[in-house]
Each structure stands twice: as structure tokens, then as C-alpha cells.
Structure 1
Amino acid sequence: MQDHLLADLRRRLQEEEAQRLSPLACLSRAAVRRRPDPLAEQGHRLPFAVDADRVLHSLAYTRYIDKTQVFSLVDNDQISHRVLHVQLVSKIARGLGRLLRLNEDLIEAIALAHDLGHPPFGHDGEKFLDRKCREHGISPFLHNLQSVHFLERLERGGRGLNLSLQVLDGVLTHDGELHTVRLTPQRDKDFAALDAEMVAKRQDPSMELTPMTLEGCLVRVADTIAYVGRDLEDAILLGLVSRDMLPEVVRRVLGESNGTIVYRLVEDLTANSLEQDHISFSPPVAQALGRLKEFNLVNIYTNPSIKTEHPKISAAFDLLFDTYLQDLRRERRGSPVYRDFLDRMDENYKIETSPPEVVRDFLAGMTDDFFLKRHAELVSPLRLPDKLNVPHIVKN
């Protein structure tokens, strides 16, 4: 009786979705997965809502809490971390999706998952880890590829989350750093196309990929909306820049504060994308946004004053990567790469994954704090007893 009620509820939700959403939206009934998945195909939740829940409850999502957004090793609790950025992307994208009558469940799933592959210390950590990957003959490290890898291969001990193609595609193609004036979805994709794009992106990291849904296009633009003004506020808080340094066109068209910038970008994007098969800004707003991104690049992201500790972080990546690689090759079973990672993975992963790829996956999943603790152990190792002296607990 209960199963019948839930099945009827699911049908009604699908019918309401088809009536409420734009004809250009991706309906939940269009979700496809690599493997049959009864848990995602039955019950009261629609498929993309299932995906969002799986991402939210993943171990990789839990680790967002202590991953750098832009500013590393900054003693200021008000500076953004990765987890806040992801929440802002989800909030902004879902709000836009409601205005454009797109699928908010799909939007949320992509937004929550889009940065899971970021290693510790943000984009700078990505560069350091990429260098080590290339040194050891494995493919370049790109956080969007690693995000898909986490979702498909590393979660659940190597079994993955079996998310829908539409979510994985949105994660792979999010590239929020690119300045794109207009995005039109490339809808004719399947899992073979996803796999081919993964291979092509590894071979040419500069290759631009296009999402298969308007929802994916929207999340990609919302990523930019979420970080461009927030990073400016963080930089002002740290004294790196001031509002009067902003280019005149930025202040005139977008404003000088994150709140105003977000509002004007959302307003303009909505007006230029409503009932259209693309996501776009107007030319004046796109131009001002491009100038703001250029300003941030020069004055924030590449500012030498926030890079003073980066030689040490780079050296720490060298030490951890090379140490754990040697631990794998010499089968040092007490190493953190076994204890905290490889021992939890299934046999297929162990057989199919080379030692440098294992180390890449282990380091990419670390939080900043976990990374620093493992580095401290190697620089000044703690001597642990063979057997921990745990007090005996007497049950009443």
C-alpha cells in the first residue's frame, strides 16, 4: 500500500514539474545513469533530488568545511572557505533557476558537487599538485575532472555515487574562471560523450567544454557571480585593495559591493536569458564583469603579498607526494596513504590505479588542516606507542 502511494506521489510530482518548468528545462524523468539504480528510480524523491542528497551526504562534501577558497593560511575567521562558496553558488543558481523556470533539483546537485575535486590551498594547490602529476607521468590535474572522479570512482570505497549524466556533465563543464558572454547547451550527449570529453580535457586542459543542459550553463555562470564580488570583499577586509581602486566601468555598471554586484548580475542575466535557449548577460554588463575579473586577477589572485607562504606549500606538496609514493612502492602499510585512504578502497580501485594516481587522489581529498598535520608528522614525527593505552570502560 505504501509503495503504491509513493509511486503515485512520484508520478504527480513529475506531472507538476512538466507543467511548471520551461520547455527548455531538463525534466527529472530525463535523468540517466551508468547503472540501474532502484533507489533513485523509486520512492518519493525525483532523480536529481536523489543526486543532490547523495552529494550532500558524501565524504568529499564533508571535507569542503576546511578547504581554501582564495586566501590560504590567513588568521581571519571572516574569510571565505570553499564550503561557503559552494553554498553561495547553490543559492544564487537556484534563485536564478526559479526565475527562469529551470530544474532547481538539477541545479542544486551540480552546484553542490562542482568543486569537490579541489585539493587543499585552492587553485594554487591545484597548480602544485598538477606539477607533481606531470613529473610522475600521469595526466594533468584539473579539479573539475577530479570532481567527477570523486563522484564516480572514489566515494563509497570505490563504488561511486552513480549520479546522473546531467549532474556529472554540469560538474565537468563548470569552468567558472572562463569569461563567457553567452552559453548555449549542447544537448546531444551520452555517457560515451562524457567519457570522451574527460579524455580530451586531460589531453588539452585549455579545451572549453559546454554543458548539456541550461541548468549546467546556469551553474557555470552562477559560479562566477558567487565568487567575483565575494573575493573582492575578502581582499578589502585584508587590506589588499580598496573600493576606489575599482575600474570606473565596474563601479558604474555593477557597483562597489558584493551585494550590489550580485544583484545587478542576477537582474541582468534574468532579463537576457528568460525564455531563451541560452544563458547570457547584456554586452555592457558582460564587459564590466570582464573588467572586474581582470581587476581581481591582477590585484588579488596573483598579488605577491598573499603568496609569501606558497614556496613552503609547494615544498610540502613535494614532500608528501614523494613520501607517499615511496610508501606505496615499498608497501609500508602503516603509512597514512594506506591507513587513511587505500585500505578503504575496493579491490578494483587498487588493481586499476597506479601508485602516482593513488597519491594524487589521496592528496586531492585532503583538507588544508589534514594536509598540514601530515606534513608536520614528516618534518617532526610524533612517536606513537605500539599499542595505545585506552582506559578500560566498565559498563553498568
Structure 2
Amino acid sequence: MKKALFAKVGAHEGNPKWKASISRVTPIYKRTDDIRSEFARDYNRILHSNAYRRLKHKTQVFFATSNDHICTRIEHVNHVASVSYTIANYLGLNTELTNAIALGHDLGHTPFGHAGEEFIKGILQNEIGETFWHERNSLRFVDKCETLPDNEGRERNLNLTYAVRDGIVCHCGEVDENSIFPREEACDLYSVQKAGQCAPFTWEGCIVKISDKIAYIGRDIEDALLLKILSVSELKKELTKISREFADAKASEINNTILMHDFIIDLCRTSSPEKGIAFSPKYLELINTLKNFNSQYIYCHERLANYKRLANLIIECIYQTLLKAYSGKDTINELNKYREIYPSLVNNFCEWLVKYSDTENREMKGSKYRNEILYHLENRKDYIQAIIDYISGMTDNFAIKIFNEITTF
């Protein structure tokens, strides 16, 4: 019954929002024998992008760990895809759309997680007067930075559907986590100026928004235990109290699997087109209590404070090194003077500039690039934006490699 109710409002053909949902900024090539839907095609385009591949070496909470069992950003987006698929499938919503949004929602996330995000935000505000938040940067990456070869081998922008792009920029799970309803109008997504400013355009986007939180709450606790960020005594003391208040489970049973299951079931039972995508009051209080637990015992832990200082140092060092090379339209030639000293940094960043700026070097590459030009190097602010884009696309490992190259004699 519930599936039938949501199927009427989901992102399916016949829905009044359908045409806007599947629209693209510009048409993309099509094969006559393609059997995929528009959203399935977006999923594949994201899956094959370099930004998705780099997520495996980007911080979720604990950075550059040598422990293979600690959650990375690529695992997180797949957890979100799994949770949102289960919910959307049960409710009769479009699972291909939730899969695509979930897989793409953190593309372009900065290295070193939110520590990197905060530091880059400061640079952008001071230098350009623009704000920086990872949802907006994810939209920028899927719209402007990421490319794939077309059927003639030419690099073009991903050009995803509106519904997927909307779900990415509106995915913030930190606000309005209960009774989420989709908005009615298909607005200009670049008019969204802060996280949580507006609800997603589709019910599927709402599902991903809340699945983001379901996916990380319990997993962060498990990782903190594994890395001894949390002591067993702290866990038992606080989680025993939480379990007594909200559930019958023993503290030892409060793990990611159980939490995800219970939140998913409660959300499916409580949600309806009339109530919105919602938890029951009990589980809404539980998820907020666990969020506060994580904030107190994990995210503010002194060991993470040290890591944040290191992340800031690495990003600042790379940023200042590249900034000093600015010389207007002659910047690439100026950078080349440092090629023997910083070979990885110079080679990689020059390739970035050639691909995205209006340089003669781009034309010398032939007709390979058909992606949007983002930077005009005679404009210093454009060059700063190029550095920010370049750094925010880095993995933790690559940023550390470049830092070591800069600081090693």
C-alpha cells in the first residue's frame, strides 16, 4: 500500500516533475542500442569518473590510515547508496535515481575530510570573497571539472540530469533530518548559497539526504573503537545509558549493522507522502543523541585536533607554493621553472591548467578537450580558483606526496 502511494510521487515517467528531472544543460550523445535509463546512465558516468575513483583515498573521519578496515569516502558513498536503495525500493521510489545521487554526492570532497574543507573555505573567503562548502563543490565537480571521453574520444563534461545534480547539492544530512518534503520548483542550483538552504527537488533526493546520516552514525563509532579513539569504558558507560533510554538492546549490540537496520525500518514505517520522509519521535531523538555522542567523544577528540593541524599545514604549503608561481598568462612558463624541483606538482598542475584554461597549450594538445573552460589566467582570482579546485580534488595520499616533495631537499 505504501509503495503504491509513493510510486505516484516518485521520479517516474508521468510525474509532473519528470521532464525537469531528466533534463540536462546540453544534450549528450546517445547510442541507438543503449538500454539504460537517464538516471542509470548518470550512475555509470559517475562510476567511471576519476573523482569517484579518488574517493578510495579520501578521509571520511580518520585520515590516511594504514588500517584497511577503516571507512574511507568511497565506502561511505556506497553505504549511502545501499541505505537509500533499501528505503527507496520499499517505498516504490526510483532506485536508479537514489543510486546515482548517492554515488555522486561526495565527488570533489576535499582531502582530509571536513578539516580540509574548513581550511579551504578560509582561503576562498579571504582571497576571492566566496564561500566554500562541500555540497556546492561536489556540484561544481560533476558540472565543470569531471570529464569523460565521448564516443569519439573527446573529453566532455559529465552533464548529469537535473535530479541527480540537485540531489548532490542538497544532500546535506545535518539539518532538517525529520519530515523532509521535496520542494516544488526546479530552481537554478547555483542560487543555493549554503548547506540546507532548500530541500531536494525529488523524494529520492530526500531519501539520500537522510540516508547520509544513517550511513555514518554507527560506522564512525565502530572506527573510533578500532583506532582506540574511544575507550571501551567510555563506550559502555554512555551507550548503556543510550540503550536504556531508547531500546532494549545491550550496549554491546549497538553496532553499525543494528543501528542502520533499526533506523531504516523506522523510517520506512513512519514515512508517507503526507508526513514526509520522517523518523518516529523516538528514533529522531536517538539519532540526535548519537550525533551528540559522536561529537563529544569522536569528532572533538584531541588526536583529531593534531590531525587537523597537519592537514592545514599540508594544504597551506601546496597552496602557497602554487600561488607564488602566478604570472598572468605566462604562469605555465613560470611553473615550468620549478619542474626539476617539484616534478609531480608542476607536471600535474600544469596538466590541470591546460585542460581547464584558455591557454595556447590547450590548442597544442589538438582536439582532445571539449570540456568547459573555467579559468582565464590573466585574472588572478581565476588562478586562485584553479588552485582550490586542484587541491580539493586531491586524495589524502597525493596531498601528502606533494607536501613531501615540496619539503624534501
**Residue number in structure 1 paired with 2:289:** 291
Q: Displacement, 1:349? A: 2.0
Does the 8 Å CA contact 2:4/2:92 hold for their aligned counterparts? no
Seen in structure 2, the aligned counterparts of structure 1 residues 274 and 343 have a Cα distance that, compared at 3 Å, is same
For residues 357-396 of structure 1, the aligned pairs below 5 Å read 357-381=385-409
| Counterparts in 2 of 1:41 and 1:166: CA distance versus 1, 3 Å | farther
The answer to whether the 8 A contact 2:133-2:195 is kept is: no
Shift of 1:297: 0.9
1:388 is matched with which residue?
none
Answer yes or no: is 1:173 the counterpart of 2:201: no
**Could you tell me which amino acid in structure 1 is paired with residue 11 of structure 2?**
C
Equivalent in the alignment of 1:269: 267
Which whole-Å CA distance do the structure 1 matches of 2:130 and 2:407 have between them?
A: 29
Distance, in Å, in 2 between the alignment partners of 1:345 and 1:166 is 26
Q: Which moves more between the two structures, 78-87 or 132-141? A: 132-141
Aligned length: 356
Match of 2:71 in 1: 80
Return the TM-score normalized by structure 1: 0.84
CA distance in 1, matches of 2:31, 2:162: 13
Of stretches 205-214 and 365-374 in structure 1, the one that deviates more from structure 2 is 205-214
Q: Is residue 2:55 matched to residue 1:64?
A: yes
Alignment check: 8 A CA contact 1:22 1:275 kept: no
| TM-score relative to the length of structure 2 | 0.81
Report the CA distance between 1:180 and its aligned residue: 1.7
Deviation per CA, 1:349-383: give whole Å up to 9, x if none: 232870110000000000011000111110015xx
Give 2:161's match in structure 1, choosing from 160, 164, 179. Answer: 164
Distance of aligned partners of 1:103 and 1:41 in 2 relative to their CA distance in 1, 3 Å threshold: farther
- Deviation digits for residues 202-221 of structure 1 (CA, Å, limit 9, x no counterpart): xxx36532101000000010
How many angstroms apart in 2 are the aligned matches of 1:298 and 1:194? 34
1:49 aligns with 2:44: no
* Cross-structure match for 1:343: 354
Alignment CA distance shift 1:135-1:23 (3 Å): same
Q: Distance in 2 between matches of 1:237 and 1:86?
A: 21
Compared with structure 1, are the counterparts of its residues 214 and 124 closer, same or farther at alpha carbon in structure 2 (3 Å cutoff)? same
Paired residue for 1:325, among 314, 319, 323?
Answer: 323
Measure, in 2, the Cα distance between the counterparts of 1:129 and 1:336: 22
Provide the rounded CA distance (Å) in 1 between the counterparts of 2:225 and 2:396.
Answer: 23
Q: For the residues of structure 2 that align with 1:40 and 1:97, how far apart are their CA atoms?
A: 29
**Which amino acid in structure 1 is aligned with residue 257 of structure 2?**
G
Question: How far off is 1:59 after superposition?
Answer: 1.0
Per the alignment, residue 190 of structure 2 pairs with 195
Residues 93-133 of structure 1 show CA distances to partners (whole Å, capped at 9, x for unaligned) of 01111000000110001000000121110011111111122
Q: Which moved more, 1:152-161 or 1:52-61?
A: 152-161
CA contact (8 A) 2:170 2:196 kept: no
**1:167-222 residue CA offsets vs partner (Å, 9 max, x unmatched):** 000000001233521100003114xx32322xxx1xxx365321010000000100
- 3-state SS of paired residue (1:267): helix
Q: Pick one of 7, 24, 33 that aligns with 2:24.
A: 33
Counterpart of 2:393, as a letter, is: G
Do residues 236 (structure 1) and 225 (structure 2) align?
Answer: yes
Q: Separation in 2 of the partners of 1:240 and 1:373?
A: 26
Which one of 192, 206, 210 corresponds to residue 217 of structure 1? Answer: 206
Per mean C-alpha deviation after superposition, the further-off stretch among 158-167 and 288-297 is: 158-167
8 A Cα contact 2:5 2:273, kept in partner: no
Paired residues of 1:320 and 1:375 also in contact (CA < 8 A): yes
The aligned counterpart of 2:363 is: none
Q: Does 1:95 align with 2:86?
A: yes
Deviations, residues 284-317 of structure 1 (Å, cap 9, x unaligned): 1101111110110111111112222322221221
The Cα RMSD (Å) is: 2.4
Q: What is the match of residue 387 of structure 1?
A: none
Kindly indicate whether the alpha-carbon contact (under 8 Å) linking 1:110 and 1:167 is maintained by their aligned counterparts in 2: yes
The sequence identity of aligned pairs, in percent, is 30
Judge conservation of contact 2:181–2:276 (CA < 8 Å) in 1: yes
Distance 1:310 1:210, change over 3 A: same
Task: Summarize deviations over 1:319-345 as a string: whole Å, max 9, x none.
Answer: 111111222334313424533422233
Which of 237, 242, 253 in structure 1 is aligned with 2:246?
253
Whole-Å separation in 2 of the counterparts to 1:249 and 1:41:
56
Question: Displacement, 1:246?
Answer: 2.0
CA distance in 1, matches of 2:46, 2:275: 28
